Amino acid sequence: MTVTTEAPSIFSTRESQVRSYSEQWPAVFDTAQGSWITDEGGRRYLDFFAGAGALNYGHNNPVLKSALVDYIMRDGITHGLDMSTVAKREFLEIFEKNILTPRGLDYKVQFPGPTGTNTVEAALKLARKVTGRESIINFTNAFHGMTLGALSVTGNSMKRAGAGIPLVHATPMPFDNYFGGATDDFQWMERVLDDSGSGMNRPAAVIVETVQGEGGVNVARVEWLKALAELCSSRGILLIVDDVQMGCGRTGPFFSFEVAGITPDIVTLSKSIGGYGMPMALTLFKPELDVWGSGEHNGTFRGNNPAFVTSAAAIDHYWSDDSFEKATLAKGERIHDSFIDLSTRFDGVSARGRGMVQGLVFADSEKAGKVASLAYENGLLAETSGPSDEVVKLLPPLTISEEDLLHGLDILADATAVVCS
Amino acid sequence: MTVTTEAPSIFSTRESQVRSYSEQWPAVFDTAQGSWITDEGGRRYLDFFAGAGALNYGHNNPVLKSALVDYIMRDGITHGLDMSTVAKREFLEIFEKNILTPRGLDYKVQFPGPTGTNTVEAALKLARKVTGRESIINFTNAFHGMTLGALSVTGNSMKRAGAGIPLVHATPMPFDNYFGGATDDFQWMERVLDDSGSGMNRPAAVIVETVQGEGGVNVARVEWLKALAELCSSRGILLIVDDVQMGCGRTGPFFSFEVAGITPDIVTLSKSIGGYGMPMALTLFKPELDVWGSGEHNGTFRGNNPAFVTSAAAIDHYWSDDSFEKATLAKGERIHDSFIDLSTRFDGVSARGRGMVQGLVFADSEKAGKVASLAYENGLLAETSGPSDEVVKLLPPLTISEEDLLHGLDILADATAVVCS
Amino acid sequence: MTVTTEAPSIFSTRESQVRSYSEQWPAVFDTAQGSWITDEGGRRYLDFFAGAGALNYGHNNPVLKSALVDYIMRDGITHGLDMSTVAKREFLEIFEKNILTPRGLDYKVQFPGPTGTNTVEAALKLARKVTGRESIINFTNAFHGMTLGALSVTGNSMKRAGAGIPLVHATPMPFDNYFGGATDDFQWMERVLDDSGSGMNRPAAVIVETVQGEGGVNVARVEWLKALAELCSSRGILLIVDDVQMGCGRTGPFFSFEVAGITPDIVTLSKSIGGYGMPMALTLFKPELDVWGSGEHNGTFRGNNPAFVTSAAAIDHYWSDDSFEKATLAKGERIHDSFIDLSTRFDGVSARGRGMVQGLVFADSEKAGKVASLAYENGLLAETSGPSDEVVKLLPPLTISEEDLLHGLDILADATAVVCS
Amino acid sequence: MTVTTEAPSIFSTRESQVRSYSEQWPAVFDTAQGSWITDEGGRRYLDFFAGAGALNYGHNNPVLKSALVDYIMRDGITHGLDMSTVAKREFLEIFEKNILTPRGLDYKVQFPGPTGTNTVEAALKLARKVTGRESIINFTNAFHGMTLGALSVTGNSMKRAGAGIPLVHATPMPFDNYFGGATDDFQWMERVLDDSGSGMNRPAAVIVETVQGEGGVNVARVEWLKALAELCSSRGILLIVDDVQMGCGRTGPFFSFEVAGITPDIVTLSKSIGGYGMPMALTLFKPELDVWGSGEHNGTFRGNNPAFVTSAAAIDHYWSDDSFEKATLAKGERIHDSFIDLSTRFDGVSARGRGMVQGLVFADSEKAGKVASLAYENGLLAETSGPSDEVVKLLPPLTISEEDLLHGLDILADATAVVCS
């Protein structure tokens, strides 16, 4: 009998042990198209993870691909820092025309560095600079990023410990429904803000996700968001909506806060704003907050022009009318129906979500992990989230076909049945 | 007589006033090739700025472009988080083969998020986690990035003020030659580290650029770098070399610290590591420092696979032998000679640099600005740096032709002559 | 007609405007005895303020005075730093015999500097050193002192602003009854401690006053204190009871926490511990927490030997049996009865307290101030407290005679009648 | 043979191990008079330590004792918070008449809590409040106190570690002569303050001791102090002189900074200001800095009236003319001569000091400890200081007789001879 020992891969010998998704999904992936991703052995996986929300338009979307390749072929500028470029102008124009103007928004646009954590840092810096206050209110189970400013408003204790310094200047408040309705919304937050003896530092801003993805698909109700906006506005506290994961149509409308009819003071966008999965981020804010000095916040890759090109193409193609939003909401309903069905069939299973971010919640968190593993074995990528990884979180491409969507939901339903029966 | 008033551009109406390069170079740029960049009116500019060091291989380098377009056309995965991909493997293999192994380096490789400030944040977090200490020593006129961790070790007071909170946990020390040789190197640093009553918090790490680009092309001497490495090592302090701008061959060798024969504990790379101007960054560290928990530091765009492809192509093409390094050093000499000539001809002008980062220093800082402006009018992009913007800093593409290099130096010499005569 | 203009006093010309009680009670006081204080014009005031709780045994108590004068006359050491002295030994012996041993307490005794804020600082430093954690949980409307460590756990926003730096490392939690019973005790605190995603830094310690004096005579219920102790102990968080104002018999028993049957990990004492109104403070902690290095916390006046002498005399005289405690509780009842009577007679008046700290609470906070002013005019010193100064707070000497107590309560009742009728 | 095992004392069983002087001088002291202190066995010790500078007028000085006993006997108010009292008025009047007016000083007087660390905290808070800046410059080997604000500007690493949190907002600078004259004074400090790229946070204030007692009797030269004052004033940085140990005549004049002809913005006093070794402290500042709100900084024992009485008596008796200053300087010369003699006789011994704070410095720090031990055995109390405890520091009562002074110096000379021969 011969034993073949596989040589350790360069991933294990050379890459830091900090990597995580590759542990969970050990395949070596190669190509991708739409909702499908293919490993080097040719095995295909239906991708209900979509770059953690960075691929709302699917992998290598042909509309964007064509614009991108044209741009590269004609030697359009790739790297532009914050120089004015034709590509940036076209992005700004279509963003203004298709996104801002129809929604009555007059935000200034900052290109803060191309990732989610960069735009969160810019937002926090600006809020502090404008108000002259240091403290920020964040929410339980928030996720905003890994650089020190963003990490200080992130909830996860393992990730916080990575800072190596005490993270200060942020105070967590209970996110919507933290106590299952047992307590009035904002009972604690309103009281400590208004009690001059509470010991709470007066905050510059509140930072909130309308739906907490990493936190376990926790959906803030419309009335909670409205009340939060009112609470901030009446007390001179800036409201930052971090729409890095939930913006760009994930919940239906372009901005996730539209459903609540509120206008945040500052909005962060990244992930799917570039359209094609390339790094890009925006910080949007009301014009009166534009107190930056020239160059006061900068960054080498804030002018990633190929991403401007694919972003403009995506916004032009998908956001000229409300059909994309409607389709997303319909697909979201479809997922939700399937999840409701599962929660009816199996004890300890429940569902929550908004638009096309949907979570299947397991009372026994181990089961969520088993379902995700089994789904992977059966060709479906879906990650878990929540403080105990108790939620199977679906973020399929918004562009997914009905057929693929149903196929993926079937895989998930079968896995759930196996694990929960 | 008719007066035509130009409508305000969307850049001025919509983009935040934080932008800076676009103020300095008001053209709207469109395409670029090699060392040249072209505005929408068809005017060409010789680019001695090169994306602030992000375009060491020039704009839209055909070797990389070909690899990139091939990858996109075959639907290679664009966005991969930290999943294992074929493109990442190829990058790791060529990076190991052409960069690490020949230099006897056994660094672990972390993909920390695709920008310079992301890799600096990862480096600082890791150093603090490993040592259990919070404090960092940085240097006068250092530049490391704009997120809170990186900003706290950056010198510029205007940028620091943008934080909106007191930046703590960092103590600046004098960079090499801060006192023009009047004082022993490390006199102060060594003393406060060794005096148990100095009031200096014991540092986790020292972070240093071997040549400070933003700080004014301040070049640390080889013996200073050696002594710094020895000082750190003998006191159990980690040495971080921030090679974001000076790495990838800017000073000649791939890593800027090679000239000093030292091996930093942690190295940060970004800017030109992606090759094509697309966002990518690496954090390298000695294997024994790899204490990260899985997922303890993450980020959506840490797996920007198109950048892995162009990075691998660049490393394969330019770093298989030492010819590229030699050519860089030769061109650097050429620039330096020209600058020495200027400093001989004009009072109050001096020169400093290493490899292809070279600074022309004006005792009267206003003159530096005038020279850069005049150069722009004459078709050359070159920025100023230093605490008073007193240095015209050249970062031409390393791939620039002899002819273009001389042409650019001529423009600069003429501008200097006009301003200084 | 002649007009005599009084020359401005040296208090107004020379003393800082930071002074407060002298604004409220403009008399220039000269002598004092027992419950009475006399101004330079010979006017007598009944003192229901008692040095903010520092004079539990009354002014210039003859038992202590005799011991003090004897000590001074025989040239007993006045200033001893932390040297061993006969006076310190006698204090330690009587404190062990009359206070610790009968209560089954085995605390180590630290002399941390002679004021409340010094002992709070020592307690916080020790808790952080022992646990290796930085964060502290404090409570709404807490008062712990004015130096930076103590101030960071104090609630009052005006006093916090005096720090001039952002106060960090502390997170306020709702004190007992903060929501008037609308919410389960510790609902929020328990949840954020136990939720690994809450974003709450794991605390070294909880610091609590069993009755918040400055905060408005907020009385923590026995069951709340028990539950708090249990919550801390089950999660490895140290419990610090700040008994600076409420210890030394103010609430009846020597330690205010005795009523709850709990044993804090660390206890702070000051104010009345010296007996005669001279500066003295103690930090008490469980022996296993005594991890201090020699001299790691010091202070010039930690060995104020005259205070040791009067402290020992007071403990010997008043705490050899439980008669003093019983008398205090009886007098407390007497005050409470009077307050209940007032709250029955007048709308918007209510009462709360424990032992001989009793508050008369006015729904209309202005009325509290008027009552205190009128009482002063009629010869009674009583201060207001609470976030809106809405509580007339009584802290009479515990040694007050029945007659004087009734007299003072009459003045207060009359003033209340005038203001509320 | 019988062995008697002594029972462990209550000091070792009950007192925290944080105590330090009692370890060094294990006697149990009982009484004291002038320059002498007596243990319970009747053994007398000449006290060249004098409460670490708190007993400039000697132990139980009869002039002060008489005033104190009179005050106590007539039931003068002991504890007055910040109420106006006759004793406080008398103190303020004599302080104004004998100290401020003759020196042309118009300081406002704050009573900040009765210890050195309290007044340092008040000074730092005020400096930050006035300037709106957080950062403080302190000096190598500074000692300012043990509460968090004061500790953050203290140099000793062991004491800093006791904080349990990272101490921030302070940056140490080299004290005078830190490099033995090898470097221009303020070369580093001036440069980082003036270089906008230095990374140094702009400070609110500089805090300095004119002679560092705990730091090892480091004496700042007059020209260094002048230059420091000028450097602060020209850059809008407040100058705080911490005169807690060196004020009240220790160096000759009442304030230690008089010798330099400078007027600090803020001055801290404690230790000997009370005269009799009882806790008292003052914060003095220029009238335009008096921006405190009423009660913004408070503290229970800021009105320790018996200390006001002894303080007034001391200032009246000793500071009505310049005879006390002259006597101190003459005695200081006497000590210095003795030390110069020792440094001539023995290798590795040197001397430094000003007025009656004098240090005998041993190149071999162990010898300093041995000399102090031997002196103790021979009936002399003298402590060591400096980062390696390499300095025998003398702080005799300023009131010491010529005979006692010579006697003590003889003991020290003999001990030095034994240790160094």
D216-266 pLDDT, tens digit each: 999 999 999 999 999 999 999 999 999 999 999 999 999 999 999 999 999
Q: What's the average model confidence in pLDDT over D333-339?
A: 98
- Chain A residues with beta carbon closer than 8 angstroms to that of C195: 140-141, 155, 387
Question: What is the structure's pLDDT at A26?
Answer: 95
* Neighboring chains of A (3 or more beta-carbon pairs < 8 A): B, C, D
Per DSSP, C59 falls in state B
Shortest distance between the Cα of D210 and any Cα of chain A, in A, equals 35
**Model confidence over A230-253: pLDDT tens digits?**
999 999 999 999 999 999 999 999
Residue of D nearest to B188 (CA): D174
CA–CA gap between residue B133 and residue B169 (Å, rounded): 10
* Neighboring chains of B (3 or more beta-carbon pairs < 8 A): A, C, D
Which residues partner with D329 through β-bridges?
A: none
Give per-residue burial for B372-401: e unless 16+ CB within 10 Å, then b. bebbbebebbbbbbbbbbbbbbbbbbbbbe
Residue of D nearest to A132 (CA): D132
**Model confidence over A304-343: pLDDT tens digits?**
999 999 999 999 999 999 999 999 999 999 999 999 999 9
Which residues partner with A39 through β-bridges?
A: A29
Of C53, C83, C96, the CB nearest to D14: C96
A386 pLDDT above the threshold of 50: yes
What are the backbone angles phi and psi of residue A106, rounded to the nearest 5°? -115, 40
> Are C162 and D121 inside 8 Å of each other by CB?
no
Q: Label each residue of C209-239 as H, E or C.
A: CCEECCCCCEECCHHHHHHHHHHHHHCCCEE
- The residue among B109, B118, B160, B115 whose CA lies nearest residue B138 is B160
Q: Is D288 on the interface with C (CB under 8 A)?
A: no
Q: What's the average model confidence in pLDDT over B231-237?
A: 97
Residue of B nearest to A306 (CA): B278
What are the backbone angles phi and psi of residue B314, rounded to the nearest 5°? -65, -45
- Chain D residues with beta carbon closer than 8 angstroms to that of C294: 17-20, 23
Strands D44-47 and D380-381 turn out to be parallel
Q: What's the average model confidence in pLDDT over A260-278?
A: 98
Task: Give pairs for A335-343: CB < 8 Å, separation 24+.
Answer: A335/A394, A335/A396, A335/A405, A335/A409, A338/A409, A338/A412, A338/A413, A341/A413, A342/A413, A342/A416
**Model confidence over D342-367: pLDDT tens digits?**
999 999 999 999 999 999 999 999 99
Best of D18, D202, D310 to substitute, by most chain C Cβ atoms within 10 angstroms, is D18
Q: Determine whether A227 is exposed, middle or buried from the number of CB atoms within 10 Å of its CB (0-12, 13-18, 19+).
A: middle
User: Confidence class of residue D322 from pLDDT cuts 50, 70 and 90?
Assistant: very high
Task: Decide: D141 and B194 in contact? Cβ < 8 Å.
Answer: no
Q: Label each residue of B212-274 as H, E or C.
A: ECCCCCEECCHHHHHHHHHHHHHCCCEEEEECCCCCCCCCCCCCHHHHHCCCCCEEEECHHHH
Residues (pLDDT < 50) of chain C are 1
Measured between alpha carbons, how far is residue C73 from residues B275, C312, D55 in Å? 87, 17, 18
Question: What is the structure's pLDDT at B2?
Answer: 53
Q: How many CB atoms lie within 10 A of CB B163?
A: 23
CA–CA gap between residue A263 and residue A286 (Å, rounded): 9
Query: In whole numbers, what is the pLDDT of chain B averaged over residues?
Result: 96
Residue of A nearest to B113 (CA): A115
- The residue among B112, B59, B6, B83 whose CA lies nearest residue B398 is B59
Q: Say how many CB pairs under 8 Å bridge A and B.
A: 378
Measured between alpha carbons, how far is residue B333 from residues B36, B405, C262 in Å? 22, 12, 78
Of C28, C72, C114, the CB nearest to D114: C114
The residue assigned the tokens 């007027």 is: D263
Question: What is the structure's pLDDT at C149?
Answer: 98
Question: What is the structure's pLDDT at B181?
Answer: 79
Residue of C nearest to A183 (CA): C183
Of C169, C191, C202, the CB nearest to A168: C169
**Model confidence over B269-296: pLDDT tens digits?**
999 999 999 999 999 999 999 999 999 9
Question: What is the structure's pLDDT at C1?
Answer: 47
User: Confidence class of residue B416 from pLDDT cuts 50, 70 and 90?
Assistant: very high
D4 pLDDT above the threshold of 70: no
- The residue among A323, B107, C165, B306 whose CA lies nearest residue D152 is C165
Q: Is D51 on the interface with C (CB under 8 A)?
A: yes
Task: Decide: D362 and D402 in contact? Cβ < 8 Å.
Answer: no
A4 pLDDT above the threshold of 60: no
Of D9, D26, D115, the CB nearest to C115: D115
Which residues partner with D29 through β-bridges?
A: C85, D39
The answer for D 157-176 residues in CB contact with A (under 8 A) is: 165-166
The angle at the Cα of D354, spanning D350 to D357, to the nearest 5 degrees, equals 80
Task: Decide: B114 and A279 in contact? Cβ < 8 Å.
Answer: yes
Question: What is the structure's pLDDT at D342?
Answer: 98
Of C29, C72, C80, the CB nearest to D83: C29
Three-state DSSP at C247 gives: coil
Give per-residue burial for A76-90: e unless 16+ CB within 10 Å, then b. bbbbbbbbbbbbbbb
Per DSSP, B304 falls in state B
- Strands (DSSP E) along D213-308, which ranges? 218-219, 238-242, 266-269, 282-285
* Whole-prediction pTM: 0.97
Class of domain B76-318: alpha beta
User: Confidence class of residue D340 from pLDDT cuts 50, 70 and 90?
Assistant: very high
D1 pLDDT above the threshold of 60: no
Domains B10-60+324-420 and B76-318 share a fold: no
Q: Is C301 on the interface with D (CB under 8 A)?
A: yes
Which residues partner with A173 through β-bridges?
A: A139
**Model confidence over A131-189: pLDDT tens digits?**
999 999 999 999 999 999 999 999 999 999 999 999 999 999 999 999 988 778 899 99
Measured between alpha carbons, how far is residue B13 from residues A105, A289, A290, A299, B9 in Å? 13, 14, 12, 22, 6
The answer for D 182-241 residues in CB contact with C (under 8 A) is: 204
Three-state DSSP at C100 gives: helix
Best of B139, B193, B196, B365 to substitute, by most chain D Cβ atoms within 10 angstroms, is B196
Residue of C nearest to B132 (CA): C132
> Are A51 and B159 inside 8 Å of each other by CB?
no
The residue assigned the tokens 């009573």 is: D111
Task: Decide: B305 and B83 in contact? Cβ < 8 Å.
Answer: no
Question: What is the structure's pLDDT at A1?
Answer: 47
**Model confidence over D167-195: pLDDT tens digits?**
999 999 999 999 988 778 899 999 999 99
Of D54, D72, D162, the CB nearest to C296: D162
> Are B387 and D156 inside 8 Å of each other by CB?
no
A92 pLDDT above the threshold of 90: yes
Task: Decide: A324 and A254 in contact? Cβ < 8 Å.
Answer: no
Asked whether this complex has an ipTM greater than 0.95, the answer is yes
Question: What is the structure's pLDDT at C183?
Answer: 79
- The residue among C267, C279, C147 whose CA lies nearest residue C207 is C267
Q: Is C138 on the interface with A (CB under 8 A)?
A: yes
Question: What is the structure's pLDDT at B3?
Answer: 54
The percentage of chain A sitting over the pLDDT mark of 70, rounded to a whole number, equals 99
Measured between alpha carbons, how far is residue B194 from residues B68, B146, B200, D160, D275 in Å? 52, 31, 10, 15, 39
B384 pLDDT above the threshold of 50: yes
- Chain B residues with beta carbon closer than 8 angstroms to that of C166: 165-166
Best of C17, C84, C109, C244 to substitute, by most chain D Cβ atoms within 10 angstroms, is C84
Q: Is C144 on the interface with D (CB under 8 A)?
A: no
Shortest distance between the Cα of A183 and any Cα of chain C, in A, equals 7
What are the backbone angles phi and psi of residue D292, rounded to the nearest 5°? -60, 140
Q: Which two tokens stand for residue C34?
A: 């027992």
> Are C114 and D9 inside 8 Å of each other by CB?
no
Fold of C10-60+324-420: Aspartate Aminotransferase, domain 1 (3.90.1150)
Of D155, D158, D388, the CB nearest to B198: D155
- The residue among A106, A121, A103, A109 whose CA lies nearest residue A84 is A109
> Are A165 and D165 inside 8 Å of each other by CB?
no
Q: Which two tokens stand for residue D276?
A: 């009799």
Q: Is B346 on the interface with A (CB under 8 A)?
A: no
Query: In whole numbers, what is the pLDDT of chain C averaged over residues?
Result: 96
A265 pLDDT above the threshold of 50: yes
Domain ranges of chain A: 10-60+324-420, 76-318
